[in-house]
Amino acid sequence: MKVGIVTYGAYLPKLAISAQEIATGNGQTATPDLGVKQKTVPDLDEDTITIATEASQLALLSAKSTDKLKKQIGCLFIGSESHPYAVKPSGTVVASALGLPTDLSLADLQFACKAGTQGLQIALMYVLANQIKFGLAVGADTAQAAPGDVLEYTAAAGGAAFVVGTNSSQEKILAELLGTSSYATDTPDFWRRPQQTYPSHGGRFTGGPAYFAHISQATKALLKKLDLKPEDFTYAVFHTPNGKFPVAAAKQLGFNKKQLSQSLIVEKVGNTYAAATLLALANVLDHAKPGDKILMTSYGSGAGADSFAFVCTPALLEFRKRQSTTIQDYLARLQLINYLEYRQRSRQ
């Protein structure tokens, strides 16, 4: 049975702050060499729930039949590191705001930056198991970082939502799933204990044994499973904690810069954590053509990686006629704020 993405939507806050402004605000003379020029900043009325709702609403509005699709969504999974409540699901609020059925498999997921792709993987499996017709997976975050910490230059906000299903008269697959693989170990490179306001991280330890090892293992396992090579793909998406790691990971695995051409929005957006890989995928889909193959591998600290392969279909071109907002539209509307305005929002 063929399964894949039938519609998608994304959301980015309109506010942003430059890396140089953060450095100046912290009394630093230079910014870290992270390949990130600026990052998005959530406004006072934006959190994971509002961002997830907005991205999901845009996905539904871009469907061929919004009302019919909503009635047939059988699961909702929201991945995030910044759910507003420690005890109370974000998903119930989002489902209610969207008008989804109450006959719904629903859960909030938390696996650092790969919580969004974990939700996508689960939703796809629900459909493949013929338990539901359509599933909704969302990655959304308003990431936090301690003032002066290197993470402050990248921790950002945004969300992306994907509805998955099979081909039907109602909806057509835009990007068909070819396969997926995962890899996980107990590698504590990044963590936050209860009552802590900001996360801690292992510095350079977050690179080799964490990000690169897991990205590599998950990607290689998928390529072997599908008997495909890096050159078989038009586009590649690797999780973007900064602008340097995905470029280095691609090179190690045999992918080239052209294949990354649409996935490095981190340079203007920052690291949106559970939304990062999915936002990059959305931007790739905004530019891809029928027949293009896309490889996507996320990474979540703690640690794990999910790898996916998709092939785009002719339905993607029809989808663009219905699509109201692209990632590039969001990037074009970004408004830079100063460090004082940024800190006022960060304390909320």
Active site residues: 81, 113, 239
CA proximity to 249, closest of 288, 214, 221: 214
The Cα 226–Cα 15 span in angstroms is 41
CA proximity to 52, closest of 5, 102, 108: 108
CA proximity to 122, closest of 166, 75, 158: 75
Q: Where are the extended beta strands (E) located within the chain?
A: 4-11, 15-18, 38-41, 73-79, 105-109, 134-142, 157-165, 175-184, 190-191, 200-201, 235-238, 293-297, 304-312, 335-336
Q: Which two tokens stand for residue 124?
A: 């796809």
The Cα 71–Cα 28 span in angstroms is 53
What amino acid occupies position 196?
Q
The Cα 269–Cα 265 span in angstroms is 6
Q: Beta 335-336 vs 190-191: how paired, if at all?
A: unpaired
The Cα 279–Cα 113 span in angstroms is 12
Helix (H, G, I), strand (E, B) or coil at 17: strand
Specify the DSSP element, H or E, that contains 159.
strand 157-165
The Cα 306–Cα 9 span in angstroms is 20
The Cα 283–Cα 285 span in angstroms is 5
